[in-house]
Amino acid sequence: MFENLSERLSGVFDRLTKQGALSEDDVKTALREVRVALLEADVSLPVARDFVKHVQEQATGQAVTKSITPGQQVVKIVHDTLVATLTGEGDPGALKIDNAPAPILMVGLQGSGKTTTTAKLAKRLKEREGKRVLMASLDVNRPAAMEQLAILGLQIGVDTLPIVKGEDPVQIAKRAKTQASLGGYDVYMLDTAGRLHIDAELIAQAAAVRDVANPRETLLVVDGLTGQDAVNVATEFDAQIGVTGVVLTRMDGDGRGGAALSMRAVTGKPIRFVGLGEKMDAIETFEPERIAGRILGMGDIVSLVEKAQETIEAEQAERMMRRFQKGQFNMNDLKMQLEQMQKMGGMEGVMGMMPGMGKMAKQVQDAGFDDKILVRQIAMIQSMTKKERANPKILQASRKKRIAKGAGQDVAELNKLLKMHRQMGDMMKKMGKMGKGGMLKQAMKGMFGKGGPSPEEMAAGMDPKALEAAAKQMGKMSGGGLPGLGGGGMTLPPGLSGFGKKK
């Protein structure tokens, strides 16, 4: 979502970075462009003005540290200011759910994604915090709104309040409270009705429900694509009902991302979560430092490591590590790596979080590499026999024809896959040998070992410079077979650090 802003800012900083000392004029010129970039990204004028003023005060006349260039200095100041603008009090992901059953009230306009977000948060509370959750739909206006929540509840294994026709929202809220108390639930979530715009009836209804439920959290769900109007919505809801936090949805869309910056600055309300798609696990805690890093193209290694940890089984990783150390890497291993990549949000998902990769993601797209390639590659591996997967060296022309035909692909595509497999196999061998598997072992241990380092520590241990060098190195490679990138979470971090040094 922040791509446009990211592109504009990195262009400004690229020009600055090439200079030796930082003069006041340089800062002014750069910041003029930063302001234009912010306004184009749909950040409101007062917020953009304050932002630039703050950066200018910090940057002008500041002694440039010897080890870094003036441009990097400005990037750091802009990064810190972005973080300060986006940060709210306390941990954004920690919801106040102390005395059971704790009510959470979901409010917002129609079509902002309230019902889906309610289900996503319920799933998160159930799986991450082990809470028993009850969801209740108070939307008596929209056709099938209650049924939608019931279906989502079935999908994620969370209970929903039985539907009783003819009740008004306040009656449903009271029934939800009673059932949550009697049923021993930790949390009950009230999904209120929306309107196309804020009107007296909507506010009155939400306020009546608030008075009955006395919620511990009132989360305002806002569509990230609505731009500056989202700020007005947040201000209005907060004034009339009282909001404890904001959830921005559709952050995977092509909106301009400025609403997030403005909303935090204008309303003073913390952004707690961001929705990144339709799937039930496509919700992330809003981490200002990481978001600022992504906007400035610094990548977000911590999120990458966390994603890897969530999607990889520890035993499976141990098993693979032992194989890699022996230099064994067959088609079954490659298939697991490709599937891993898919789970972590595909090529774009992984690249978006890596330093220096933001610009490259576009090149990769232009080269015709999209995430459908992963699906095709997995199909080709599935089209092989067990024997062929275990030992790809036995593949001659006739077998190749059969496999390609079985997956509905050309033999040329299969040859690309085999080449990628060979390159990855070579890389695994080298990594396995480094200090008797030291490099690989450390990475694996960090990702899955009990008592291993946290994602933050792991990220700190990865050298962004080496990763950026690796990104550039990969930029020179063809779009077809990107060796090592089938590696998903398993080989990405160590593999890429290795890339920069190996070449």
Residues 6 or more apart whose CB falls under 8 angstroms from that of 30 comprise 12, 13, 15, 16, 74
Q: Rounded to whole angstroms, how far apart are CA atoms 51 and 223?
A: 24
Residue range 457-475: average pLDDT? 57
- What does the DSSP assignment read for 129-152? H---EEEEE---SSTTHHHHHHHH
- Answer whether 107's CB lies under 8 Å from 221's CB: yes
Mind giving me the DSSP string for 416-450? HHHHHHHHHHHHHHHHHHTTTTHHHHHHHHHHH-T
| Measured distance CA(52)–CA(183) in Å, rounded | 53
Q: Look at residues 283, 110, 123, 126 and name the one whose alpha carbon lies nearest to residue 205.
A: 110
What's the rounded mean pLDDT across residues 37-51?
Answer: 84
State the pLDDT at residue 307.
Answer: 64
- Residue 71 clears pLDDT 50, i.e. is over it: yes
**How confident is the model over 200-228, as a mean pLDDT?**
90
The model's confidence at residue 277, banded by pLDDT at 50, 70 and 90, is confident
CA distance 503 to 498: 9
Specify the pLDDT at position 132: 94
**How confident is residue 101, by pLDDT bands cut at 50, 70 and 90?**
very high
Burial of 466 (0-12, 13-18, 19+ CB in 10 A): middle
pLDDT grade for 162, boundaries at 50, 70 and 90 = very high
Q: Indicate the helix (H) or strand (E) that contains 248.
A: strand 245-249
d(CA 64, CA 342): 43
User: Can you tell me the distance from the alpha carbon of 224 to that of 70, in angstroms, rounded to the nearest whole number?
Assistant: 34
- In whole angstroms, give the CA distance from residue 258 to residue 465: 29
Residue 471's pLDDT band (boundaries 50, 70, 90)? low
Q: Is the pLDDT of residue 235 over 80?
A: yes
Is pLDDT of 479 > 50? no
More confident residue, 153 or 308: 153
Say yes or no to pLDDT of 278 above 70: yes
pLDDT at 451 exceeding the cut of 60: no
Average pLDDT, integer, range 369-392: 86
Neighbouring C-alpha atoms within 13 Å toward the C-beta of 251: 27
Least confident range from 110-119, 196-205, 434-443: namely 434-443
278: CB partners within 8 A, 6+ apart: 116
Tell me which long-range contacts 237-241 makes (C-beta under 8 A, separation of at least 24).
237/107, 237/108, 237/198, 237/203, 237/206, 238/267, 238/269, 240/203, 240/206, 240/207, 241/107, 241/203, 241/206, 241/207, 241/210
Least Cα distance to 77 among 101, 100, 52, 94 occurs for 52
**488 dihedral zone (left: phi>0; alpha: psi -120 to 50; beta):** left
The answer to whether the beta carbons of residues 321 and 438 sit under 8 Å apart is no
DSSP 65: P
